[in-house]
Chains A and B, each alone.
Chain A
Amino acid sequence: MTPRSMSFGTFLTRSLTLLAAVALAIMVFWTIADVVLRAILKWPLHGSVAIVETALVLVALLALADCLARDEQIKVDVFDHMISPRALFSLKLLGDISMLVFVLLLAMTMVQPIVDAWRFWDIKPDIPVPIFALLGVIEVSLIVSVFVLVGKIVRSLRVRAGILAPSGDEP
């Protein structure tokens, strides 16, 4: 897909994945720098653990929406060929809807921890990264994931109803 033909949703999810990849690179290079400086100059980098933990939050959750868009979750699909296409469509739709409920629940229950972290201005030990910012990144990732899933469900229903041509990605 060329950038010109890429939808805004795809652009957004892939940009978030790219940010996650940058965070992963930071994690690798910072840790290597810490190991080398500690071994050669006996001068470890301050706050390495906190930086790795912060980068990990970004790596672990920014690529979530891209994962959901690509339908990469682990599921039991051994019985797919034993059921009718209609039943299979219903099960795939049910899977997407339950994923939506799960992600939505996570997004909703995280609001209070974000408010609390903001109110008490919790920060990570060693580096001045506010916890609400990390929680905020998770929340943004979950909200984008909700939009991805809603888009996926609407698209598959429209394909089923014959309004849209199938692209091969829908249930």
Chain B
Amino acid sequence: MSATFIGLAGMGVLVLLILARIPVGVALGLVGFVGYAAIEGWAKAQVVFGSVPLELASAYTLSVLPLFTLMGALATMAGLSGDLFRASNALFAGTRGSLAMAAIGASAAFGAVCGSSVATAATMGRISIPEMLRGGYSPALAAGAVAAGGTLGILIPPSLILMIYAIIAQQPVIKLFAAALVPGLVLTALYILTVFIWARLRPEVAPAIPTESRGGTLRMLAGVSDVAALFLVTFGGIYFGWFSPTEAAAVGAFGALLLGLWRRSLTRAAILSGFTETARITANIVLIIIGSTIFSYFVVQTAIAQNAVLWIKATGMPPLAVMLLLIIFYIFLGCFLEGIGMVLVTVPVFLPLVIANGYDPIWFGVLLVIVVEIGLIHPPVGMNLFVIRAQAPEISLRDMYLGVLPFLAAPLLLIILLLTFPGLVMWLPAKL
């Protein structure tokens, strides 16, 4: 039996196990172990299996994961999202659809201190949806804006998915963060534009709200200057060479802690909860990364990626067609698989193919996050929709699905922009 055949059989089994509700990390690890053993023998497989946990768990590059996660957890518990929403609302006041735009703007700002999409959607949903419903907004627009805005949490740095991609694809995390910043801002603008067009075409979905005075707007914006300062110090510090990524993550976590204490919004119980929750999230992700690493060792032995590259070269398919096929595949995969799972299962197989077709792995990482974002808001998985459903049970699932549909145009348009102008992604990392 050839190694490639074993590889293909292993991937088939992997899909079956994942669909059979086996935890993604376990499915990856078990298939990787058995597959590796089938090619290289049990003795070698045991050596690989035994060396992976320490090799990964003590990798200095992985330390950004718990530290940035802690920054997000403390920022969430400190209630920074409420002030961000009010400041963002003051900025858009006077425009029809201002509350929905504020929810998106505040989500982008919150994404700058929190790397999780679900956490961003949950905190923003709790604050902005009741405001929008009180203001007479349609439930579909309210849910759609928060679900879409929540996805910005994983694109605007720090991003949990990008940190995991950096580990799996062995790319510098700081270049990935820099690469995602401009597309994150463009996507924020596209989401706001979606609200603007929707409210123009159907004014009844977003009744006009009284305008804030100039003084009030400035006061609201000044109220979140500390959050802006935290983001600037954390990421500006890396850009100016003051800190390494790990040090910046520690500064960010420590800054979020100080901010919460200074605003008197962090209790001792909340701090403890932030630390223990981060430890559990880290343990969970590290176990999945262990499984994925074992799986990627197996994939390397099968030579599937090299064969796929040769096969595609033989068909004469242009690189753009390959990339479009990958994007369609990822959007389809997003119907069933959660974002982290998508990255861990597919990157070891597809990355060599992407590189062989002349695409930069940093650029691909950002593109991958955008297709993961689409998966976060399109049915049937649409994790953000479920989070909002828990926050606002009065909004029907039908309204939620209808509400996110117009927002799906924004990431699709962004993908077209990235394919047409790769410089949108590559410009900032080139300056580092």
Contacts and interface: CB of A to CB of B under 8 A. Distances in A.
Interface stretch (A4-12, A87-95, A159-167): A87-95
Nearest to A19: B279
B432 interface: no
Contacts of B336: 76, 78
B30 to A, nearest CB: 6
Q: Could you tell me the dominant secondary structure of chain B's interface residues? A: helix
B247 A113 contact: no
B66 A62 contact: no
Nearest to A112: B50
A109 interface: yes
A67 B21 contact: no
Interface in A56-76: 56-57, 59-64, 66-67, 70, 72-76
B63 A56 contact: yes
Contacts of B58: 53-54, 56-57, 134
B17 A98 contact: yes
B23 A95 contact: yes
- Interface centre among A56, A64, A109, A110, by most chain B C-beta atoms within 10 angstroms, is A56
A108 B291 CA distance: 16
A106 B290 contact: yes
- Interface centre among B25, B26, B381, by most chain A C-beta atoms within 10 angstroms, is B26
Given A70-B280, A106-B290, A24 B247 contact: no
Contact of B63 (A53, A61, A76): A53
B20 A91 contact: yes
Interface in B9-45: 17-27, 29-30, 33
Contacts of A25: 275
A135 B242 CA distance: 33
A75 B282 CA distance: 17
A105 B57 contact: no
Contacts of B70: 24, 28
Interface in A22-77: 23-25, 27-29, 31-32, 34-35, 39, 49, 52-54, 56-57, 59-64, 66-67, 70, 72-77
10 contacts: A21-B272, A24-B275, A24-B278, A27-B250, A35-B247, A66-B280, A77-B21, A91-B21, A95-B23, A110-B53
Interface of B: 17-27, 29-30, 33, 46-47, 49-51, 53-54, 56-60, 62-63, 66-67, 70, 242-243, 246-247, 250-251, 253-254, 257, 272, 275-276, 278-280, 282-284, 286-288, 290-291, 335-338, 340-341, 380-381
Given A60-B286, A64-B283, 20 more contacts: A20-B283, A21-B276, A24-B275, A24-B282, A35-B251, A52-B63, A52-B246, A53-B59, A60-B57, A61-B286, A66-B283, A67-B280, A67-B284, A74-B25, A78-B380, A94-B22, A95-B22, A95-B26, A98-B30, A102-B29
